[in-house]
Chain A
Amino acid sequence: EAGVAQSPRYKIIEKRQSVAFWCNPISGHATLYWYQQILGQGPKLLIQFQNNGVVDDSQLPKDRFSAERLKGVDSTLKIQPAKLEDSAVYLCASSLVAGGNNEQFFGPGTRLTVL
């Protein structure tokens, strides 16, 4: 079974530039998550999709971050404009459904450096 795919793996940009990340979840997984993991911290949920609908985006900085899940499969996360404090690893995860004992499977992440 193929895992969660993410691209690019690494990205370096200057502040005020824009950047986009892509995620392809495990086939058949209805729930998709984007996390931000700052060095030395645990992952922080940015947004959760159930199929192509947003379930929770309470911690997404909506003035600069946006995300969509086209046709309930692939997803993109965009930052525009980027700030220095956005430097982090952006992890995508998916699960069959949300909650309970439904294990989340994580992708390898995109390491973003904002200069």
Chain B
Amino acid sequence: GQNIDQPTEMTATEGAIVQINCTYQTSGFNGLFWYQQHAGEAPTFLSYNVLDGLEEKGRFSSFLSRSKGYSYLLLKELQMKDSASYLCAIVNTGFQKLVFGTGTRLLVSP
């Protein structure tokens, strides 16, 4: 089976940097996704990591350590529109399906 842990909620200030952690246990691993989901909307793709290291894309970066079962999403220069839930999901090697964590709700305040 799989187990994915993320903090339930985080708060940060506009312009700051925030790191959202995700730890996982799985018998088969074929990559990790981060999705952003605004309230009442569909999840949208942010990043994909399959190799160890940091992937940078604008204000967002994602890091993966497969040996530690650990990933983080780093958001820089926070904006009010970044207030959303951030979902960590691992790709299962069995049927190549996504298994989602419960998500981290980020609240950005002025």
Contacts and interface: CB of A to CB of B under 8 A. Distances in A.
B25 interface: no
B102 A99 contact: no
Interface of A: 4, 33, 40-45, 48, 55-56, 91, 98-101, 103-109
Nearest to A43: B100
B41 A42 contact: no
Contact of A42 (B42, B44, B89): B89
Given A56-B97, A101-B31, A40 B102 contact: yes
Task: Describe B's contact surface by its main secondary structure.
Answer: loop
5 contacts: A4-B42, A33-B97, A41-B102, A48-B95, A109-B42
Given A100-B30, A101-B31, A42 B87 contact: yes
Given A45-B97, A109-B42, A103 B91 contact: no
B96 interface: yes
Contacts, number: 59
B95 A56 contact: yes
A42 B102 contact: yes
B45 A100 contact: no
A50 to B, nearest CB: 9
A42 B104 CA distance: 9
Contacts of B42: 4, 91, 106-109
A104 B98 contact: yes
A43 B43 contact: yes
B97 A48 contact: yes
Contacts of A45: 97-99
A103 B50 contact: no
The 4 A-B residue pairs with the shortest CB-CB distance, nearest first, are A99-B96, A42-B100, A106-B42, A56-B95
Interface in B59-110: 87, 89, 91, 94-103
A56 to B, nearest CB: 4
Interface in B11-52: 30-31, 33, 41-45, 48, 50
A99 B87 CA distance: 17
